[in-house]
Structure 1
Amino acid sequence: MTSSINIKDFKLYKATAELKKPIADATHTLSEISFLVLRLQLENGIVGESYLLSFQYSPAAITGAFKDLLPHVKGYAANETGKVLKKLDDLSEYFGNSGVSKWARAAINIAMWDAWGKYLNQPVGKLLGTYKDKCNIYGSGGWISYTIDELIKEVTDYASRGFKAVKIKVGSPDWKTDLERLRAVRSAVGTEINIMMDANQGMTVPAAVQLARAAQELEIFWFEEPIHHQDFEGYRMLKQQTGISLAMGEREYDTVPLLQLLQRNALDIWQPDLLRIGSVEEWRESAALANSYHIPVLPHYYKDYDVPLVCSIPNGVGVESFDWIDPLIDKPMLVKDGFAYPHQGPGWGFNFVDEFLNEIKL
């Protein structure tokens, strides 16, 4: 039986942010900052929207995943997110439920939540319940490819905009180079701003131990992905030998690594990526597991989704900020004095502007 909130059609688009020159962390060089934008149209005309961060990687693979999965969501109601997750899992099981299939599945889920919120004329965050009205936000970047001058310009810009914390990339061939860059940042921003460091899995355990010990004088707030994300014993050793707070989670497609680290007392901050973990529901399930071990949640990248999600859980402590989509959407998020505030419009509260979208034919 057809309902006004059933999914009728879908379209996929690409949008690209300005990037003046390539940027790099310890393990990747990014030549493009791009996004795939999904729109699901309901029978009543409401359009639910979502996006994922794609860079230049595997464009045929991710669009192929959308092409495989999207036809199967037609006819489902916007609020039947659980039914759709089960359907798409069944379809993807043969070749694996992680990887590109989970990204596409998550984008569908996020767009369904957007459509459901728009139908009810309520923000998604209010549908999930509210623990707080705002959350901490930190400025991210600090790319290894930056010169010292570029690095200082970025962190002082964040400071001038009221951010109370910044994150810097580490994982240079010589950890002493990272230390000098961190010292320059501390000198530039003073002692009132927290500094975090992120190796993007690009270090060995010995190098990570040396950097963590040497950086104690700089009062580094936490160390993100110092080593390979599946080296659970390495995380345990690093924690035991240095005492530094460890953050991890953005590369995970389920909660198995989270549990492995929790059982080893080798994790201090859980950082789920909404697109990789697979859905709003699974993001919240992972946060609940972290909460059962008294671990705070500070998710990866997607601030316009993550702020209302973080505000809906007891252990949400903050979000990561990049400005990449701000020029491409109709209502950039309010960020003031080191805090981010959830969008107040229905659904997720923002949409990409049509003029920046190029349709991908599926």
Structure 2
Amino acid sequence: MSSRITEARAFLVDIAVETERTDAIQSFEKQETVFVEVKTSDGLTGLGYSYTIGTGGRAVLSMLRDHLVPRLIGLDADRIEAVWFALYSATRATTTGAITSLALAAVDTAMWDIGAQRAGLPLWRLAGGSRRDVPLYDTEGGWLHLPTETLVEGALASKAAGLSGVKLKIGKPTGSEDLERLRAVREAVGSGFDIMVDANQSMTAAEAIRRARLFDGLDLAWIEEPLPADDIEGHRRLVASTATPIAVGESMYSASQFREYLVRGAAGIVQVDVARVGGITPWLKVAHLAETHNVDVCPHFLMELHVSLAAAVPNGRYVEHIPQLRAITRTQMEIVDGRALAPETIGLGIDWDEDAISDRTVA
């Protein structure tokens, strides 16, 4: 007899940032974390989540409470794909869009939590089990407001800790300012250590092409989000103009958007974000699609969840180290010799602190 969903609820938790975070277009002021809790007729409980970086959280919560959560009751809890598609089909008027995808992700991660519990497996094994450990790079030491000396110190500390690379924000008023900062870090860490750069969609295609050429010789691992995410043609032109891989994905909200980038040769690295693409179900589709194009996956943010997904697929190249759940979890992501280890705990593998979550619940 199949297990049915008997209860579901959505709620919003605010988590303060651990450090000042700035890029070329915005500041990360807080994480609005949208949770969905799902209970089944055979006694299982799944807890899923998604997020925004300071705005829109209540809109996502409203989508869940008013439209999606009520539709869950009575659905077969063992049919994750069917649940995802039923909710997606009920929101045709607002797909593809950020609010809907973020809401779907909160439900879908809860369903995968239940699915992993039922299977008696950790998420990384259930989703594919390619290998348990994944290389790690750091973002926390690379924010745009930080002086060059601090960037150098952070990069050297990451290298000493065994991490494989660091991400530095770019988008200063002039390319020469960006170049000076990047060159200082490269000279400090030497060769054989990855430096990624992130422009946060701040450039025109012409400026991105110019700066990519300016950075020649720095051996950058990738240039991330140089252009607005809907400028596929601009990204294609940029890819054709530089040997440095171009990374996209954190601002893309459906698998079909990734398909267009990959088919047109407009991306060298895929940074699919499980919350923004609509959950684990579409995340895996994007990862496997990227594999068919011989493209690596380096997911954006959400390291506590992405460590399991990057470990699940053969083309999961990196996990981004940027802690944000420590205020509401009892234990942290395990790091050994600079590599992230997917948790062996059954389910999503995130050790939630229910009291801390309750204290920070705002809606």
Normalising to structure 1: TM-score of the pair? Answer: 0.91
- Distance in 2, Cα, partners of 1:85 & 1:18: 31
2:89 is matched with 90
Q: Bigger shift: 241-250 or 162-171?
A: 241-250
Distance 1:223 1:352 in 2: 34
In structure 2, what is the equivalent of residue 272 of structure 1? 272
Measure the CA separation in 2 of the matches of 1:293 and 1:89.
26
Q: Which deviates more, 309-318 or 339-348?
A: 309-318
Residue 189, structure 1, aligned to residue 207, structure 2: no
Aligned to 1:224: 224
Aligned to 2:29: 31
Q: What CA distance in whole angstroms lies between the structure 2 residues aligned with 1:234 and 1:189?
A: 32
Deviation at 1:248, TM superposition (A): 0.8
**Which letter maps to 1:124?**
L
Partner amino acid for 1:90? S
User: Does residue 359 of structure 1 match 2:361?
Assistant: yes
More moved, 174-183 vs 185-194:
185-194
What is the deviation of 1:6?
2.8
Superposed displacement of residue 360, structure 1: 4.5
Q: What letter corresponds to residue 104 of structure 1 in structure 2? A: A
Could you say which residue in structure 1 is the equivalent of 2:56?
A: 58
Contact 2:298 2:317 (C-alpha < 8 Å) held by counterparts? yes
Query: Alpha-carbon deviations, 1:112-169, whole Å to 9, x = none?
Result: 1112222333212222232222111211241112222433343333223221111111
1:169 corresponding residue in structure 2: 169
Residue 137 of structure 1 corresponds to 136
- 3-state SS of paired residue (1:144): coil
**Equivalent position SS for 2:24:** coil
Q: 1:154 to 1:74 in 2, by over 3 A?
A: farther
Unpaired stretches in structure 1, ≥5 consecutive residues: none
**Identity value in percent:** 29
Displacement after TM superposition at 1:20 (Å): 4.9
SS at match of 2:93: coil
> Which residue number in structure 2 is paired with residue 259 of structure 1?
259
Secondary structure in 1 matching 2:136? strand
Q: TM-score, normalised by structure 2?
A: 0.91
Counterparts in 2 of 1:140 and 1:41: CA distance versus 1, 3 Å: same
Aligned-partner residue type, residue 62 of structure 1: V
Contact 1:89/1:97 (<8 A) preserved: no
Q: State whether residues 15 and 37 of structure 1, in contact with CA within 8 Å, keep that contact through their aligned partners in structure 2.
A: no
2-side partners of 1:54 and 1:261: how far apart? 24
Residue 65 of structure 2, aligned match among 52, 64, 67: 67
Distance 2:28 2:335 in 1: 26
Aligned to 1:82, the other structure's residue is in SS state helix
Q: Give the match for residue 160 of structure 1.
A: 160
Amino acid at match of 1:312: A
User: What residue in structure 1 maps to residue 350 of structure 2?
Assistant: 350
Distance 1:213 1:62 in 2: 40
The residue identity in structure 1 corresponding to 2:181 is R
Q: Distance in 2 between matches of 1:133 and 1:59?
A: 32
Report the 3-state secondary structure (helix = DSSP H, G, I; strand = E; otherwise coil) of the residue aligned with 2:130: coil
Measure the CA separation in 1 of the matches of 2:185 and 2:196: 11
Number of paired residues?
359
Distance in 1 of aligned mates of 2:17 and 2:158: 19
Structure 2 Cα separation of the partners of residues 42 and 154 of structure 1: 46
- Report the residue type matching 1:55 in the other structure: I
Gaps of 5+ in 2: none
293-302 vs 232-241, greater mean Cα deviation:
232-241
Shift of 1:191: 2.3
Take 1:201 and 1:120, find their aligned partners in 2: how far apart are those partners? Answer: 40
The residue identity in structure 1 corresponding to 2:332 is P
The answer for the alignment partner of 1:128 in structure 2 is 127
- 1:120 and 1:235 map into 2 onto residues whose CA distance is 41
Could you list the per-position Cα deviations for residues 161-212 of structure 1 after superposition, in whole angstroms to 9, with x for gaps in the alignment? 2211111111122121111111222233332321011111111223222221
Amino acid at match of 1:39: E
